[in-house]
Structure 1
Amino acid sequence: MLTNKNKYDVVIVGGGLSGLISAFQAADKGLKTLVLEKGRNLGGSGNYVEGLCAVGTEMQKAKGINYTPSQLVQTELNYSHYEADSRSLKEYFNESAETLKWLQSKMGVEFTEVTKLGSGMVTWHLLKGQGKEQIQKNIIPSVKKVGCEIEVSVSAQKILKDGKGKVSGLVIKSEANGAEEAISTNAVVIATGGFLNNPKLLREETGYDPDKIININSGKNTGDGQKLAWAAGAQRVAKGTLMAFNGYLNDPTNPPYKYWYSEMNTAASLQSLLFVNEQGDRFVNEQVTDNFADCGNVFLHQNAVYSIIDQATVDYLSKKGLLKIIEIYYEDTNKPLSHLQEQIDEALTQKLPFIHKANSIEDLVKKLSLTNLKPTVERYNELCKKGIDEDFGKDSHFLVSVERGPFYAFDLGVGAFTTLGGLKTDLDNHVLDRNGKIIDGLYAIGADAAGKLCGDTYSPNICGTCAGYCAYSGRKAALDIAKNLTR
């Protein structure tokens, strides 16, 4: 047998943040609970989560922050052009402070501070040691302590139903030897974290070009849950949202996480310097980096994006400090990027494909076929001298000229963490069929159900929304299962 029993009250497909939280709540309510994780390790992309959204917490009150849930709901509705679901947002935000308290009291989850990102609201409750430390140190031990069974390297292959259309079991498979068997269960919870790591599905379901997207996650989010649920009759909706963030060094020869804390990536992507497209044309007010999702959108609409920096700017960032802070990463503008030149030189020595150096702008044009780069730089330098961005309205603080060689061009893709949605759920996270009816016994949580929180663009104005929803929805689904099974 691949599991210890052949019948469970609930089986949770996916051992990431939302799945583990759901498993704890279910087992804590006395349910026979099984977690299936297709990988060898638990936590999934939750290991990289930095913080959770909540409103009305003690941490916010201590800083004099007095947002109301209604304010957050309205902000999300406005940002999404009312594509987000008002009722889901209302319930989530109304319960968010209590959800954080529950995480702290029941599983010992530790938070360090509440902050914001870019121009957003102060809703981001940072996890001590990020998701990895809290999942490995506190959440997993808590899940095991309440008697939940966890099986790794085991995947779900098919949802089984009885004659009335209610979930009755799962076909599962050993990822080690391919053996399959069927188990019985009253409920299945989909918690597989979206489909960012499935290029075919990403292109078909969202229209995004996967070649432009740099995946910064666990690498395991391949749409398993969506495909399971769709095959069981689930409605395919709210599937077009990508949690994209700012430009990111486009290096297919190295794992993406290498540049997460790279000073070179910070300089090229996050300082609102000169961005040009495949023609060498400037195309946006570079302060768009203040909202990482907006930045991701505008970058994805170019065929290519380059960050153009001269040696004078490299020297300034290396010796003087930043032009703008990056919350939780680089919060002191007076602290220089002391390893920037070293990282640039190393990348050039290794001939990494994303970086290009030339002694003149004309040479950069020849190297990259950026036809309009020379007049673009000349116009940009003219605006820098005036101190007024007559073309796109960028603040004069970020009008940094490109005059002293050598000159660098950094090829930027778009970083992304997850997709949001794919499955339509009700307020208790039941999965709905093509007619909007409940598929009895089938639930979806976390990123797989989070499309209803946004429109076509994730809102970093309320940072941590998806991660907070992972905790909220995981608990919500488990409580509903427990209620239904004990009637």
Structure 2
Amino acid sequence: MKKKFLALSLAAALGVSLLSGCTQDTAPSPSPSASTPAEPSPSQTVSETYTYADTVAWDGRYDVVIVGFGGAGSMAAMAAADEGARVLLVEKAPEGHEGGNTRYCGQLFANGNGNYEDTLAYYKALAGDHEIPKAMLELYAREIANLADTISDKLGLNKEEFMAWNGIPVIGSMSPEYPEFPGSDSITLTSTHAGISDGYLWQAMRKQVTDRADKIDVWFESPAVSLVQDPASKTILGVTVERGGEKLNVRADNGVVLTLGGFENNPEMLADYLGLTDSRAIGTLYNTGDGIDMVLDVGADLWHMEAYEGIGDFSGSVVKVPEGERGTTMFGSSFTQGGSIFIAGDGNRYLREDELTRHGHIKLGDAWMNARRPLRSFVICDETQFNAFTMPENAVNVQSASSIADLAALIDVDADTLVKTVENYNSYAKAGYDPQFGRSAESMAPITGGTYYAVELTAAMLNTQGGARRNENAEVLDRSGNPIPHLYSAGEFGGITAFQYQGGGNIAECVIFGQIAGKNAAEVKNDTLPAYTAAEKVTSNIVHTPGVTTDLAASEAPDVTLGENEYLGVSHNGMGGDLYVKVTMDGDKISTVEIVQHAETDGISDPARDQIPGAIVEANSTEVDNVSGATITSKAIKEAVEDALSQVK
């Protein structure tokens, strides 16, 4: 019968008995099968007495357990598997939504182009007066300096196709993002092909996991809820995972790696740590800060909890959408030009509308800081500017009126104040000089016309950086600065960024520390757990072992009834894995193409799913252009259609 492991306080109350020294067997043994009884780990064996691990009813057992199937988790799983470890990768999101922010990001990485000294100087300047351990910063800079080679080698990508985005509109402003800093001449924002925001890099990372399916099991919709820790040695023994409505204790013989992202979807944590009471995530909706509580319970220290990144125009804003839905990034929008202004809930302007932000940071003296935001904010614009903007379909508060005073009433803003604000701005636009905020003359035009619009905005939340403090070995540290045995982290969960952020830095961190964490977690530890008598030894029924339970097996073909001249085709190379289509032929012509099953990313793959099938039918060929921003899905649809056509007699 399963028994809950004791909390630390209860263990202390009962009294932990540290008996005589325990012997250990350092010879590795194969991972247990489903029928193997619970035995002590080869690196944690005792001779006559039992340990705390023997008082836990284990349901599963692996060498390494990784929490979070995103960029860092993928790299950690790959590295651990390549060291010979049998890995369990658990993910909170359902299949098709895994990937964390790596799935949704621009697919670009920070690149030092081989120059370590420049890269180190640049990242020191980014940190400002925030302390980052010397060994960690040097390692980070050394790896970023050679990251193009690492990504090419580890992910099997052609370095000749990599593209630096210097000087290219919008993205080029991040390549480098701080050109005034020392070493910036060597820093670029680089993509792995001539495209961005299309899932290309994430798909390459995910493929490294699927290619190692014989060594890596994956559980979707299986959030980790707590860590299992030996109360005396503080060693992390495993993870409690919630799966199918049941809590399962999974033993990790060599290590646990936390790559479960930040807390950008946790309103309480956003308010407590950032003072931010309203925002919308533009990446994953599954980063809810679960790891924060988990590591606090095992005595870990936290760092960089105040650091976060926004994105886009207006100090990092998005059009307000319902809670729990992703925001749409605003880059180079019409609202930064012409007849439009940005106001707070009191009807006054409060920032320069055309200022180019740096990941949501605006210039404050000699530094770039996250903007202080009012409780409510709106774009006020005329019809010309409104029509030039593509409004999200799920925008929650878009108002129009024939006068500014009437518009003020619709958004609950003082009419006299808003009328005066617009009048003042119009006078600045006509004069070509903005004495309030210094907006450029070429960006201003009077707000005029018969219809006026208000669009409510909120903060665009790209990601948080805070989490468990770690060192250069990716070891999680306790509050005294000591590593917590067998616990590692990587990625945005305790990211290295403490102050100013260079675009592509989080992807770099996923690659760098993901590999370090996975490799170190896989190492067989020559440590010994102390004997334990404060609770009874139990017999475990270990069911979940390597190769027995996984959700990553090739998806089953959909149950589709095929009529005459109808064919089912599949591509295994979608951004989310298998993509199936049904193709109907009319003689030698393609009559219809229907996507019948996929695990692509909503919001990114939509244009390809909407356009490519029709384009194939019109061309009667798969030789059609990919949809920009949805390259992976475009190629997968065409590949699936080709598979279907190969079956035509």
Paired residues of 1:12 and 1:188 also in contact (CA < 8 A): yes
Measured in 1, the distance between the counterparts of 2:304 and 2:400 equals 43
Structure-1 residue corresponding to 2:101 = 45
Instruction: Tell me whether 1:192 sits opposite 2:260 in the alignment.
Output: yes
Aligned-pair CA distance for 1:383: 1.2
- Measured against aligned partners, the alpha-carbon deviations of 1:358-393 in whole angstroms (never above 9, x if no partner) come to 112222222223321111111111111221222211
Structure-1 residue corresponding to 2:225 = 157
Aligned-pair CA distance for 1:24: 0.4
Aligned-pair CA distance for 1:154: 2.4
Higher helix share: 1
Instruction: Tell me whether 1:250 sits opposite 2:320 in the alignment.
Output: yes
- Measured against aligned partners, the alpha-carbon deviations of 1:170-215 in whole angstroms (never above 9, x if no partner) come to 22231x2324234242211110011111222222233221xx2011
Structure-1 residue corresponding to 2:484 = 439
Structure of higher CA gyration radius: 2
Paired residues of 1:96 and 1:468 also in contact (CA < 8 A): yes
Paired residues of 2:64 and 2:522 also in contact (CA < 8 A): no
* Secondary structure of the structure 1 residue equivalent to 2:492: helix
Structure-2 residue corresponding to 1:92 = 140
For 1:34-433, list aligned pairs within 5 A: 34-41=88-95, 42-57=98-113, 68-78=118-128, 81-85=129-133, 87-109=135-157, 112-115=162-165, 117=171, 119-122=173-176, 123-128=188-193, 130=197, 132-136=199-203, 138-146=204-212, 147-162=215-230, 163-174=232-243, 176-209=244-277, 212-245=278-311, 246-252=316-322, 255-257=325-327, 259-260=328-329, 266-268=333-335, 273-294=340-361, 300-314=372-386, 318=388, 340=389, 353-371=396-414, 372-433=417-478
Measured in 2, the distance between the counterparts of 1:421 and 1:126 equals 26
* Secondary structure of the structure 2 residue equivalent to 1:374: helix
In 2 relative to 1, CA 88–167 (structure 1 residues): closer, same or farther, beyond 3 Å?
same
Paired residues of 1:194 and 1:420 also in contact (CA < 8 A): yes
- Using the TM superposition, name which of 403-412 and 141-150 deviates more: 141-150
Aligned-pair CA distance for 1:356: 1.2
Q: TM-score scaled by structure 1? A: 0.80
- Measured against aligned partners, the alpha-carbon deviations of 1:111-165 in whole angstroms (never above 9, x if no partner) come to 65222637433322224564633333x3223223332222223232332233422
Paired residues of 1:73 and 1:90 also in contact (CA < 8 A): no
In 2 relative to 1, CA 124–357 (structure 1 residues): closer, same or farther, beyond 3 Å?
same
Aligned-pair CA distance for 1:13: 0.7
Structure 1, unaligned runs of 5 or more = 319-339
Alignment-mate amino acid for residue 200 of structure 1: E
Paired residues of 2:280 and 2:323 also in contact (CA < 8 A): no
Alignment-mate amino acid for residue 517 of structure 2: A
Aligned-pair CA distance for 1:20: 0.7
Q: How many residues align?
A: 437
Measured in 2, the distance between the counterparts of 1:4 and 1:133 equals 36
* Secondary structure of the structure 1 residue equivalent to 2:379: strand
Aligned-pair CA distance for 1:476: 1.8
In 2 relative to 1, CA 297–364 (structure 1 residues): closer, same or farther, beyond 3 Å?
farther
Alignment-mate amino acid for residue 392 of structure 1: F
- Measured against aligned partners, the alpha-carbon deviations of 1:236-294 in whole angstroms (never above 9, x if no partner) come to 3321222222211012189335x448x9x933468894111111111112233432422
For 1:468-483, list aligned pairs within 5 A: 468-482=508-522
Paired residues of 1:272 and 1:286 also in contact (CA < 8 A): no
Measured in 1, the distance between the counterparts of 2:284 and 2:489 equals 19
Paired residues of 2:347 and 2:413 also in contact (CA < 8 A): yes
In 2 relative to 1, CA 474–180 (structure 1 residues): closer, same or farther, beyond 3 Å?
same
Paired residues of 2:111 and 2:190 also in contact (CA < 8 A): no
CA root-mean-square deviation: 3.2
In 2 relative to 1, CA 436–268 (structure 1 residues): closer, same or farther, beyond 3 Å?
same
Measured in 2, the distance between the counterparts of 1:180 and 1:474 equals 25
Q: Which has the higher contact order (CA 8 A, sep 6+)?
A: 1
Measured in 2, the distance between the counterparts of 1:73 and 1:440 equals 29
Aligned-pair CA distance for 1:75: 3.1
Paired residues of 2:110 and 2:503 also in contact (CA < 8 A): no
Paired residues of 1:13 and 1:225 also in contact (CA < 8 A): no
In 2 relative to 1, CA 309–388 (structure 1 residues): closer, same or farther, beyond 3 Å?
same
* Secondary structure of the structure 1 residue equivalent to 2:511: helix
Q: Which runs of 4+ in 1 moved over 6 A?
A: 269-272
Aligned-pair CA distance for 1:85: 5.0
Q: TM-score scaled by structure 2? A: 0.61
In 2 relative to 1, CA 384–301 (structure 1 residues): closer, same or farther, beyond 3 Å?
same
Aligned-pair CA distance for 1:37: 1.3
Paired residues of 2:280 and 2:325 also in contact (CA < 8 A): no
Structure 2, unaligned runs of 5 or more = 3-31, 35-59, 177-187, 363-367, 528-649
Paired residues of 2:430 and 2:445 also in contact (CA < 8 A): no
Paired residues of 1:299 and 1:414 also in contact (CA < 8 A): no
Q: Tell me the percent identity.
A: 23
In 2 relative to 1, CA 40–234 (structure 1 residues): closer, same or farther, beyond 3 Å?
same
Measured in 1, the distance between the counterparts of 2:306 and 2:69 equals 24
Aligned-pair CA distance for 1:33: 2.0
In 2 relative to 1, CA 135–70 (structure 1 residues): closer, same or farther, beyond 3 Å?
closer
* Secondary structure of the structure 2 residue equivalent to 1:164: coil
* Secondary structure of the structure 1 residue equivalent to 2:466: strand
